[in-house]
Every structure is written in structure tokens, then in C-alpha cells.
Amino acid sequence: MRTLAISKRIGKELLRDKRTMALVLLAPILIMWLMSVIFSANSETSATIGTVGVSSSITKKLDKVDNVTVKRYQTKSRAKKALKHYHLDAVIIKTGSNKYHLYYANIDYAKTALTKQGFQQALSKQQIAQIKSKITNLSKAINQINQTLPAGHKLQIKKSKSSSKTKITNTYEYGNKDTGFFNKIAPIFIGFFIFFFVFLISGIGLLNERSSGTLERVLATPVRRSEIVAGYMISYGVLAIIQTLIIVATSVWLLDIEIVGSLWLILLIAIVLSAVALSLGIFISTFASSEFQMVQFVPIVLMPQIFFSGIVPLDALPSWCTPLSQIMPLTYAARAMEDVTLKGAGFNEIAGNLGILLIFLAIFTVLNVVGLKQYRKV
């Protein structure tokens, strides 16, 4: 009853704070969209390559490589001058039969890589063309020989139809050919947004109650300390559910991210995570005496969690990072989110991670209920 009264009151206050509501509900959409643009930009690198003394057939083949433009130069010095002035990204100079020297501007690593790859491709196509023409010559010679031979002893070259074209079929376990880095980090970010906003808003909310004296006033009524914490949990839990729905809807319909597993499980993770964020926010707010000081905890408490929660694969990090990531609640939420969105994990598979989140929750909640003793001894 009192718990509900408290959560209703918080809900009303939140709803009246239009700007905060807009931030909580719209900011994730905007940021997710921006990130999807940035991270799924299919690196449209192009390179302009100058050639000196390279045979025209190779030059043509190089020109045909996607995103590569070739300019032919008569002299080495002219080509190099163009490279110096960054009109070219690379210069290929033939220094002998089958010997090439490549110069790169190398300002953009991707262009360098594209040049290397493109030239390699052109060379191998050239070789294939040479082999083909040799085969054609060979079969012509055989035909001529056949004409001189008596019938029944004719030589034959077996033609295999499939030799000319190789067909590759791609099947994707998750997503499609447009699946990029963003798809992998999207579930982590669902977790992060919930954590970030619930942490900050609830922390500041309780901080305001401390500094305005309403917390003390509330504790001068027969309310239980645990009822206050529970009231906060319900209202911010509802906020987290709404936020999750918005983020998931954005991901699915706007950003085309495939969610393999069940939406209910994602909501479940979101609720548990928001409860953890809430209890941490309330806990941390004890150490802040102003809203500004609360914001100062963002780089300390939140930023490391993004980096260590799986955006960078943990196996790629130095070993001292592992224990660090293990004390961060977001790690477990991100793992569970990933398992559900990418691999379609069921409840049993994420139960372990959820359990660890619940342990975090229990610890911080107990600390908070005890911490409120500061205002009333019972």
C-alpha cells in the first residue's frame, strides 16, 4: 500500500518532468540510429592508382576492381609527383618482367589495403586469362593434329562446363549479408541505456529527496525503509520496461536488427538490470551531495562498464581485465541480452547471468535499506 503510494508519486513526478521523459524515451532512439549509421557504414573506400609501364590488360583489369580508378602515367617521376600531392593513393611501377614496385600514400590504411587487394586480384585474373589463351591455343593445335590423323584415333580434350564459373552460396546463421558490427553491440547497448538512465535518474531523484528534506519527512511517518526502496523499484522498473520496449521496437523496425530469442526474456533481463541500476544509483547517491556530483560518477561507474561488458571481445583484452569485467553488473546483462538476441537462448541458458544480477541487486538493496538508517534509526 505505502510502497504503491511511493511508486505512484515518483511516477507522477517523472511524468511531469517533460524534459527528462523526452530524454529517457527519445534519446535512445536517436543514439541507436546514429550508431547504426556509423558502425554499419559498409566501408566504401575508393582508391585512385597511378600506373607506370604496367601492361594495358592488367591496367584494365585493375580498373575493373570495385572502387578502384586507374590513371596511366608515362613517367615514373610524374606519377610520384602526383602521389606526393595526394592526387593518387598509390602508384604501381613495373620494374622488370613480373616485377612491380608499389608506392602508397598510406594516409588511409583502408585505401592501402584496397590497392594491395585490387592489384593482387588483377594479377591473378591476368594469369587466368593467360592460361585460358594457352588452353585455346593448345586445343587449336590438337584440332590441326586431328585433321592429319585417321578417324578413330582422334585426340580429345574433355570440356567441363563448370570450370568457367564458380558459384558460391552464402547462408547466414544470424542476420544477413548486411549484418555488421552494430548488430553485435546492439544488445549490449539496450542494456547500457537502461542502466545509464535508471542509474542517473533514480540516483538524482533520491538525492533531491535527501537535499530537499522530503526523505526525512517521509521517514517521519510509519513507512518502512524497505517500502521506500521497493516503491522506487516499482516506478523505475516500469520506466525501464517502457524504455526497453521503445529500444527494442527501434532496433527491430527502424534498424532492422533481428532478435532471434523471445522478447519476454529481453524484458525480463531489462527489469532485473533496471533494478540493479536503481539500487546502485540510490547507493551511489549517498556519496554525492549535488546533482553535479552525481554526474561525476558517470565516467567512474558507467564508462568502464561499457568497455568491459563485451563491446570489445574479452578474449582480446589483457588478462587483468577479466576480473574487472566480472565485478560489473552490465557484463552479465550484456551476455544475457546477447544470448537472447543473437543466439535465441532460452530461460535456462540465461538463468546463470540473471542469478548473478540478482546477487548484485540483493547486495545493493540491503546496503540501501541499511543506509536509510541515517535518517531514522528504525
Q: Which residues bind another protein (CB under 8 A)?
A: 1-2, 5-6, 9, 12-13, 16-17, 212-214, 216-224, 375-378
Q: What does the alpha-carbon distance between residue 113 and residue 116 come to, in Å, rounded to a whole number?
A: 5
What is the rounded CA–CA span in Å between residue 125 and residue 144? 29
CB of 317 to another protein, least distance (A): 44
Could you give the angle at the alpha carbon of 333 between the alpha carbons of 330 and 334, nearest 5°? 80
Task: Compute the least distance from the CB of residue 18 to another protein, in Å.
Answer: 11
Query: Is residue 44 packed enough to be buried (19+ CB in 10 Å), middle (13-18) or exposed (0-12)?
Result: exposed
Cell numbers of 203, please? 540516483
Q: How far is the CB of 278 from another protein (least distance, A)?
A: 19
CB of 286 to another protein, least distance (A): 18
Of the pair 191, 231, the CB lying nearest another protein is at 231
For another protein, the closer CB: 52 or 372: 372
Closer CB to another protein, 186 or 215, in the complex: 215
Question: Between 9 and 71, whose beta carbon lies closer to another protein?
Answer: 9
**Which C-beta is closer to another protein: that of 211 or that of 290?**
211
Smallest gap, in angstroms, from Cβ of residue 218 to another protein?
Answer: 6
Q: Strand locations in 125-272, DSSP E?
A: none
In the complex, the smallest distance separating the C-beta of residue 28 from another protein, rounded to whole angstroms, is 24
Closest to 183 (Cα-Cα) out of 257, 116, 250, 267: 257
Q: Report the sign of the C-alpha dihedral through residues 49, 52, 57, 58, in that order.
A: negative
Residue 143 or 214: which CB sits closer to another protein?
Answer: 214
The sign of the torsion formed by the CA atoms of 132, 135, 140, 143 equals negative
| H or E element at residue 352 | helix 347-371
Tell me if 105 sits within 8 A of 83, measured CB to CB: yes
